[in-house]
C-alpha cells in the first residue's frame, strides 16, 4: 500500500465532544487538504523565481460590521438553470448551511410571509448574473432587499461560463489553460478562516480561470492573484460597496479550487454581516485503518511509515497533538512481501508516533458474529496483540471493518466494544444513507456518538 493510497483512505470523524451531535464539517477536511497542498506544493517554488513577488496589498474595503438583524439564516442560490448550482449547493449542504435555490424570479420569493428569507446571495455563474440582472422588477427588489439589510452578493464563475458584464466597472477575461501558477492571498477585509499568504506559493490548475479587472478609482480588494504568462492577474476580487451596488465578491473560478472553498465561507460570513458563520475552532482526526491487512504488494513499507511520521511532524507545527489514528488487525502481521514485512516491524518500532485502535483481529465484519461471547473473544485477541506490542491505544474510539454493525445497529458490536475496548465513539459512512454524502449525519445510540 503506497502513501498515496493510504491518504486516499483518510476518513474523518467529528469532534469527540459527545454533545456536538453534528456531522464533521467538510471544511475540516478541506483545511486538512489545504495544509497538505501548502506543505507539499510550496516546496517547488524555485521554478517561479522568475516572477517577481507581487507587493502585498492593504485592505481597501471596510471591516465587517456585524448585523443584529433578524434575518432567516438561509443562503439564496440564484440560477436560471438549477444544475449550474450543483457544485455550490453541494458545498453549502456539506458545511450545513440552509439554503433556498431560486430559478423563477418573483420578488415574493425574497420573503416568507413578509419575513426576510436569506442572509447571503450567491449567483451560481457569471451568466446567471448577466441574465438575472435583466429581470428588472426582481433585480430591483433584490438590490433593495440587499441595501435595506446590508447584504452583499457573491458571483462565482463556472467552468463553461461567459464573461461577466453586468457589474459596473468590472471586466473579466478567460485563460483556457493555466497549469501551474504562483498564487497569492492578500490581506483582504473578508478573510476570516483563510489566512493571507505573504509568500507566493505554487498551485496546479487543471482548468482555466477568469481573471477580473476593476477600473481605477473604484474601491476594491484583490483577494487572490495568480501568475498567467508571467503576469499577476486577479482570481478573486472584492468590490467594496458602491452607490448603486452592494458589495460584491467575484470568483473567477468555481469551488473546485480548494482555496476558493475557504474564501467562499469567508465571503458568506462577510456578505451576511456575520449572520452566517461557522466556529473557527475545528477538531481534526484522520484515521488510517487496515494496518497489517492486505495482499502482498498492497501494504506499507518502511518508507511509507517514514512518510507518515514526517507528515505528522509537519502537521504538529500547526496542529498541536496531531497524530494519525491507525486501526490494526494483528492476525495478518508479516503476511506481506519482504519489503512490507520490514514495514510491519518498523511501524511497531515507531508505534509511539501513532495512536492505535483495534480494527478486528482479522478484519472480519462484526455482523458475522451473532452473539456477544464470540465477538468479544475475537476482539480480545486483537487487544492482546496490541498489549503485547505495547501499542499506545486511542482511548474510547474504534472503527469497525467495513463499518459493518454500526448502522443498522448490531448490538453485540456495541456491547463488545464497550466491554473490551471501552469504546464510546465511532464513525460510519452509512447513516442515514450512503449517498448523497453531503447529507450524512451522526447519531446517538444508547449514549454513543456515531459520526460520519
Beta carbon of residue 329, minimum distance to Zn ion (angstroms, whole number): 7
**Least distance CB 371 / Zn ion (angstroms):** 23
List phi, psi (to 5°) of 348: -70, -40
Grid coordinates belonging to 410: 448490531
Tell me phi and psi for residue 252, to 5 degrees.
-80, 0
Q: Which is nearer to Zn ion, 196 or 367 (CB)?
A: 367
* Residue 395 CB neighbour total at 10 angstroms: 13
**Cβ-based nearer residue to Zn ion, 97 or 332:** 332
CB 401 → Zn ion: shortest distance, Å?
A: 4
Q: Which is nearer to Zn ion, 254 or 358 (CB)?
A: 358
Q: How far is the CB of 407 from Zn ion (least distance, A)?
A: 16
Find the shortest distance in angstroms from Cβ 352 to Zn ion: 23
> In the complex with Zn ion, which residue's Cβ is closer, 305 or 326?
326
Binding site for Zn ion (CB under 5 A): 289-290, 401
SS (H, E, C) 82-99: HHHHHHHHHHHHHCCCEE
Do 384 and 346 form a contact (C-beta atoms < 8 A)?
no
Distance CA 400, CA 329 (A): 11
Between 92 and 425, CB nearer to Zn ion: 425
Residue 383: CB minimum distance to Zn ion, A: 17
Alpha-carbon dihedral angle through residues 96, 324, 3, 206, given to the nearest 10 degrees: 30
Enter the C-alpha cell of residue 221.
480588494
| Nearest-approach distance from CB 294 to Zn ion, in angstroms | 10
Question: Judged by CB, which is closer to Zn ion: 282, or 331?
Answer: 331
| 291: β partners | 328
Q: How far is the CB of 322 from Zn ion (least distance, A)?
A: 22
Judged by CB, which is closer to Zn ion: 153, or 403? 403
* Residue 417 C-beta: closest distance to Zn ion, Å: 15
Instruction: Phi first, then psi: give them for residue 126, nearest 5 degrees.
Output: -60, -40
- Alpha-helical (H) ranges within 74-151 are 86-94, 126-132, 136-149
We find the least distance from the C-beta atom of residue 327 to Zn ion, in angstroms, to be 6
Q: What stretch of H or E contains 372? A: helix 372-388
- Dist CA 262 CA 34 (whole Å): 9
Nearer to Zn ion, 161 or 290 (CB): 290
Which of 259/399 has CB closer to Zn ion?
A: 399
Query: E-strand spans in 167-242?
Result: 170-175, 179-185, 197-205, 209-214, 220-228, 231-239
Judge contact between 329 and 299, C-beta under 8 A: no
Q: Output 290 or 304, the one with its CB closest to Zn ion.
A: 290
Contact 357, 327 (CB under 8 A): yes
Strand order, beta sheet including 325-328: 11-12, 286-291, 325-328, 355-358
* Burial of 364: CB neighbours in 10 Å, binned 0-12, 13-18, 19+: middle
Amino acid at each position: 500500500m503506497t502513501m498515496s493510497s493510504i491518504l486516499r483512505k483518510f476518513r474523518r470523524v467529528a469532534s469527540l465532544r459527545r454533545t456536538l451531535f453534528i456531522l464533521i464539517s467538510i471544511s475540516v477536511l478541506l483545511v486538512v487538504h489545504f495544509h497538505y497542498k501548502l506543505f507539499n506544493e510550496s516546496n517547488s517554488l524555485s521554478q517561479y523565481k522568475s516572477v517577481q513577488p507581487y507587493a502585498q496589498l492593504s485592505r481597501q474595503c471596510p471591516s465587517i460590521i456585524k448585523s443584529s438583524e433578524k434575518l432567516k439564516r438561509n443562503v439564496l442560490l440564484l440560477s436560471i438553470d438549477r444544475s449550474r448550482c450543483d457544485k455550490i449547493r453541494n458545498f453549502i449542504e456539506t458545511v450545513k448551511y440552509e439554503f433556498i435555490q431560486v430559478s423563477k424570479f418573483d420578488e415574493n420569493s425574497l420573503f416568507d410571509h413578509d419575513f426576510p428569507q436569506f442572509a447571503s446571495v450567491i449567483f451560481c455563474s457569471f451568466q446567471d448574473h448577466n441574465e438575472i440582472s435583466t429581470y428588472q422588477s426582481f433585480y430591483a427588489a433584490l438590490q433593495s432587499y440587499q441595501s435595506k439589510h446590508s447584504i452583499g452578493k457573491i458571483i462565482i464563475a463556472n467552468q463553461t461560463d461567459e464573461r461577466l458584464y453586468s457589474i459596473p466597472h468590472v471586466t473579466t477575461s478567460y485563460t483556457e489553460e493555466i497549469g501551474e501558477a504562483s498564487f497569492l492571498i492578500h490581506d483582504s477585509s473578508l478573510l476570516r478562516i483563510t489566512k493571507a499568504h505573504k509568500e507566493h506559493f505554487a498551485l496546479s490548475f487543471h482548468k482555466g480561470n477568469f481573471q477580473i479587472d476593476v477600473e481605477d478609482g473604484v474601491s476594491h480588494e484583490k483577494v487572490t492573484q495568480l501568475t498567467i504568462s508571467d503576469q499577476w492577474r486577479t482570481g478573486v476580487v472584492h468590490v467594496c460597496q458602491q452607490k448603486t451596488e452592494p458589495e460584491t465578491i467575484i470568483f473567477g473560478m468555481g469551488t473546485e479550487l480548494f482555496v476558493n472553498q475557504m474564501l467562499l465561507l469567508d465571503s458568506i460570513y462577510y456578505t451576511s454581516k456575520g449572520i452566517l458563520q461557522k466556529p473557527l475552532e475545528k477538531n481534526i482526526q484522520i484515521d488510517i485503518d487496515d494496518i497489517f491487512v492486505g495482499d502482498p504488494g498492497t501494504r506499507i513499507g518502511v518508507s511509507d511509515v517514514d512518510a507518515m511520521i514526517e507528515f505528522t511532524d509537519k502537521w504538529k507545527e500547526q496542529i498541536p497533538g496531531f497524530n494519525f489514528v491507525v486501526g490494526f488487525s494483528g492476525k495478518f502481521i508479516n503476511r506481506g512481501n519482504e519489503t512490507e514485512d520490514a514495514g510491519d516491524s518498523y511501524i511497531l518500532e515507531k508505534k509511539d508516533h501513532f495512536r492505535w485502535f483495534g480494527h478486528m483481529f482479522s478484519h472480519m465484519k462484526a455482523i458475522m458474529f451473532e452473539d456477544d461471547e464470540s465477538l468479544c473473544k475475537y476482539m480480545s485477541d486483537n487487544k492482546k496483540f496490541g498489549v503485547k506490542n505495547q501499542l499506545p491505544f486511542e482511548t474510547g474510539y474504534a472503527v469497525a471493518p467495513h463499518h459493518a454493525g454500526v448502522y443498522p445497529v448490531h448490538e453485540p458490536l456495541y456491547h463488545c466494544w464497550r466491554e473490551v475496548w471501552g469504546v464510546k465513539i465511532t464513525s460510519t459512512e452509512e447513516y442515514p444513507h450512503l449517498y448523497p454524502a453531503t447529507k450524512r449525519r451522526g447519531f446517538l445510540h444508547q449514549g454513543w456518538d456515531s459520526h460520519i
